[in-house]
Structures are given as C-alpha cells and as structure tokens.
C-alpha cells in the first residue's frame, strides 16, 4: 500500500485505513458544522421558549382581579327611584368608604385613600341599583375592583419592603389595604372583566370585549369577501383561463401581492376606502376590507394548489357523461378540493387576525370605551388593542397586554389546530 506513504523519510509504510491528522481535521470540521446546526436550533427554540415564557409570566397577574366588598348604604332621596341612573353614586360610595376609615379626615388623606379604589366602583353600584331600584334606602354589599395600585399590592407586584419613595403606594395606603384584608373585604376572583369589559383608561377596568367584537366583525367581512372572490379567481385561473399574457400577468401579480408589506395595504385602505370612498374611520368594515385584500392572495394560492391536486381523471369522467365545464367544477372538482381550500382559508384568516399595521393606518387604534354596535362604528381590534395597551404607561397594562397576547395566541392556536385537523382528517392521496 505504497500510495499513501507518510511524508517523513522513514521507511514505515502506512496502510490505507490508518487515519492521519488531515483526516481528523476533516472530521472535526464535520462535527463543527453539526454543532453549529444544533446551536442554531437551540438558539431559535430557546428564543421561542423565552418569548412564550416571559409573556406567560407577565400575563399571570392578570388572571385574577383584586376586588373589594363594601357595605353601601343608599339613603332615601339620594337617588330618584324613577331615574336611578342619575344618582350621585360617587358620593354615596365615598361615604361608605369613609365609614370604614373614620380616622381619615384631611382632604389630602381622603384623596390618597380614594386612590386605592377603582373609579369603576360607582358604576358597579349604579348598575346594581338600576337593576333593582328597591335597594334604595337599604344597606347592601357591593363588590368592585381595587385600583391598579391596590391590585398590584395584593399580587405582590409592588414590593412593600422598598423605601416609600421607591414604590407607588404610600405607607398609609398599605395600612388601609391591610385593614381591608383583615376585615375580609378583599377577594381575587378570576378576571372575567378582562374579557367582557370594553377598554378603559384604568387598567383594572380595561377589557378586551370591544376589541374582540371589532376583530370578529373585521374577520367576518374578510371571510365573506375573500373566500368567494378568492375561490372564484382561483377556479378561473386553474380551470378556465387560457394561457395568455393576461393570465400570466394575473399570476405574477397574485404571487407578488402575497409578499407586499402589510403596511402598504394600510396605505391603500387609507387612500381609497377612507379618503376616496369616504368610509367611516376606525370602522371594522374598512378593517375587514383591507384584511380581505391581504388574505385574497393566500386563499387564491391555497385554492389553486387544492384544485391542482384533484386528478384530471375526475374532470374527464364528468365531462365524459356530458357535464359542462362549469358543472364539472361545481359538482366534482370544488367539493373534492374543499378541505384544502378551507385549510388555506383558515390559515389566511389567522394571519389576518394577527395583522396590526394596516389597521393602525385606518385608525382602528382609537380609544373607544364601548363595544361597537355594528361594523360601521369605530372600534379596535385584538392586535391594535394590544398595541394601545403596550403603549400605555400604567403598570397594570403590562400584565393586561401580555394577557391579551395570550388571548390572541389562543385564538391563533385554535384556528391553526382546526386547519391541521382538517388537513389530516380529509387529506386524500390520489
């Protein structure tokens, strides 16, 4: 075995299967590449874990809402039974609070004390009285949220061991809060308000309902526009269109449209829908239309793929028994392609649900404290609500933002799970 003689002048003959330094260098290069690969994957997955982890951890405090229960006396005459909405509930509530803390008398202290309780208390009280006017003149329990600082004190987000200058609650407020706890007035039930309240300036009152309704309307429009139009366009291009310049242009155009930055669609919506057609600003209808233009290419591409997967023999069979091409498509090809189309549509809608930038441009980041009555009313959507909250300085909004993200991700997971299930369940190999 003379052709791989070692370089040294010695007469030693090395057999071909003996590794040399060069070979081990080559193998360590191989191991290095493998290590890079593993490192890259670990980096990507740990980033995913960090993202989900930190958001879940920050969201945790928003799972419960700290509530306080007070006995409130609504004196006769303070509220007019024929018009219970008009009472000065703020004052009534303040009186009840002061009854628990009789020693608080200076206006400054009173203000401090008041800050512990949410501004939403008066509305909780009002709603109770409006529901049952017979409560007027009686004393009864009202449960309502503590203000943000109280909430955070309860959840330990504010460290009471810090010196007073470094925390947002005073020693006095901590004392009052402790008294409330002693008296068993504090509870922390599940935070349903987070889902069922509309937006508010006060974190403890802010909820996602308006955003959920807005997103629902927008997605509804998006579906009803992009689904039929997308399928029709795909059917034409795949089943009927002659091969010519125009259809080539449409084809290139659709592929490129799918890669146009979403914010450009926002500019389109702003210039065309709002400025040219004069549609209402911040309305889910406009948001839905913009989103449907964005979803359209996704649905067209998915539908074409699904139509392509239906074998030509099916079409030939139908045409062979005298069906027109339209009948062939309508009766045979489309139903067979439907699972694939639905999967693509759900994925497209999921993308639309998470889309933020175009909605910002058409003003769906307005501050609106009630859910929209119709798709023409101003509203926010889930992702724009997240944007608004993320921008808000109050501490309480941090956990609410994270919680809203969890809600958004929850919807996305469900939608994708449905899509994957449909793909698995109805997948047909020809």
> What would the two tokens of residue 49 be?
């874990």
39 binds another protein, rule: CB under 8 A: yes
Query: With binding defined as CB under 8 A, does residue 422 bind another protein?
Result: no
The answer to whether 370 contacts another protein (rule: CB under 8 A) is no
Q: Rule CB under 8 A: say whether 409 interacts with another protein.
A: yes
Residue 333 binds another protein (CB under 8 A)? no
Binding another protein by CB under 8 A: which of 77, 175, 261, 410? 261
Asked if residue 338 binds another protein (CB under 8 A), the reply is: no
Using CB under 8 A as the binding rule, the residues of this chain from 135 to 194 that contact another protein are: none
- Should residue 392 be labelled a site residue for another protein when binding is judged by CB under 8 A? no
User: Is residue 405 close enough to count as binding another protein by CB under 8 A?
Assistant: yes
Cβ proximity of 198 and 210 under 8 Å: yes
Please state the closest distance from residue 26 (CB atom) to another protein, in A.
Answer: 5
Of the candidates 262, 132, 152, the one whose C-alpha atom is nearest the C-alpha of residue 202 is 152
Q: Which of 354, 392, 395, 418 binds another protein (CB under 8 A)?
A: 354
CA angle (253 as vertex; 269, 363 as ends), nearest 5: 10
Taking the CA atoms of residue 354, residue 355, residue 357 and residue 359 in that order, the dihedral angle to the nearest 10 degrees is -100
What residues numbered 297-326 form the site for another protein, per CB under 8 A? Answer: 297, 300, 324-326
Contacts of 47 (CB under 8 A, 6+ apart): none
Contacts of residue 73, Cβ cutoff 8 Å, sequence gap at least 6: 92, 95, 96, 138, 139
Interface with another protein includes 63 (CB under 8 A)? no
Q: Pick from 229, 309, 319, 338: which binds another protein (CB under 8 A)? A: 229
Q: Contact with another protein (CB under 8 A): which of 89, 117, 177, 387?
A: 387
Q: Among residues 72, 74, 61, 172, which one has the least CA distance to residue 114?
A: 172
Is there binding between residue 259 and another protein (CB under 8 A)?
yes
Among 176, 223, 227, 265, binds another protein (CB under 8 A): 265
Shortest reach from residue 261's CB to another protein, in Å: 2
60 lines the binding site for another protein (CB under 8 A): no
Residue 84 CA to its chain's centroid (Å): 38
The residue from 161, 243, 276, 321 that contacts another protein (CB under 8 A) is: 276
Question: What residue spans of 60-162 are helical by DSSP H?
Answer: 89-100, 107-114, 121-131, 148-155
Question: For 97, how many CA atoms within 13 A lie in the half-sphere containing its CB?
Answer: 28
* Structural tokens at position 294: 């964005």
Which residue stretch of 83-91, 144-152, 178-186, 225-233 sits at the interface with another protein (rule: CB under 8 A)?
Answer: 225-233
Residue 78 tokens read as 């303070």
- Binding-site member from 5, 139, 275, 313 for another protein (CB under 8 A): 275
């Amino acid at each position: 075995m003379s052709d791989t003689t070692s370089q040294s002048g010695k007469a030693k003959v090395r057999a071909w299967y003996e590794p040399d330094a060069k070979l081990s260098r080559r193998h360590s290069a191989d191991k290095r590449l493998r290590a890079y690969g593993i490192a890259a994957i670990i980096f990507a997955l740990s980033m995913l874990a960090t993202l989900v982890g930190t958001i879940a951890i920050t969201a945790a405090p928003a799972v419960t809402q700290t509530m306080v229960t007070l006995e409130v006396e609504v004196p006769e005459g303070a509220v007019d039974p024929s018009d219970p909405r008009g009472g000065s509930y703020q004052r009534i509530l303040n009186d009840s609070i002061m009854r628990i803390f009789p020693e608080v008398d200076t206006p400054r202290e009173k203000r401090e004390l008041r800050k512990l309780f949410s501004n939403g208390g008066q509305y909780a009280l009002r709603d109770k009285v409006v529901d049952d006017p017979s409560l007027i003149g009686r004393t009864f329990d009202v449960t309502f949220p503590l203000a943000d600082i109280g909430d955070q004190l309860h959840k330990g987000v504010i460290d009471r061991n810090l010196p007073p200058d470094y925390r947002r609650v005073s020693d006095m407020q901590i004392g009052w809060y402790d008294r409330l706890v002693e008296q068993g007035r504090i509870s922390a039930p599940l935070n349903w308000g987070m889902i069922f309240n509309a937006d508010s300036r006060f974190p403890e009152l802010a909820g996602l309902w308006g955003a959920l309704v807005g997103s629902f309307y927008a997605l509804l429009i998006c579906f009803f526009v992009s689904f039929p139009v997308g399928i029709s366009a795909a059917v034409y291009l795949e089943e009927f269109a002659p091969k010519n310049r125009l259809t080539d242009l449409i084809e290139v155009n659709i592929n490129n449209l799918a890669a146009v930055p979403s914010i450009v669609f926002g500019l389109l919506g702003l210039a065309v829908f709002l400025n040219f057609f004069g549609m209402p600003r911040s309305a889910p209808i406009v948001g839905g239309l913009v989103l449907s233009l964005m979803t359209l290419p996704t649905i067209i591409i998915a539908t074409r793929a699904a139509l392509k997967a239906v074998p030509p023999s099916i079409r030939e069979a139908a045409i062979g028994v005298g069906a027109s091409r339209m009948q062939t498509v309508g009766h045979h090809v489309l139903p067979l392609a439907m699972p694939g189309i639905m999967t693509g549509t759900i994925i497209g809608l999921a993308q639309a649900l998470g889309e933020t930038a175009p909605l910002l441009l058409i003003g769906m980041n307005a501050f609106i404290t009630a859910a929209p009555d119709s798709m023409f009313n101003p509203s926010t959507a889930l992702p724009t609500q997240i944007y608004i909250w993320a921008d808000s300085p109050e501490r309480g909004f941090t956990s609410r933002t994270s919680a809203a993200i969890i809600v958004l991700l929850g919807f996305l997971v469900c939608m994708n799970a449905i899509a994957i299930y449909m793909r698995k369940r109805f997948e047909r190999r020809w």
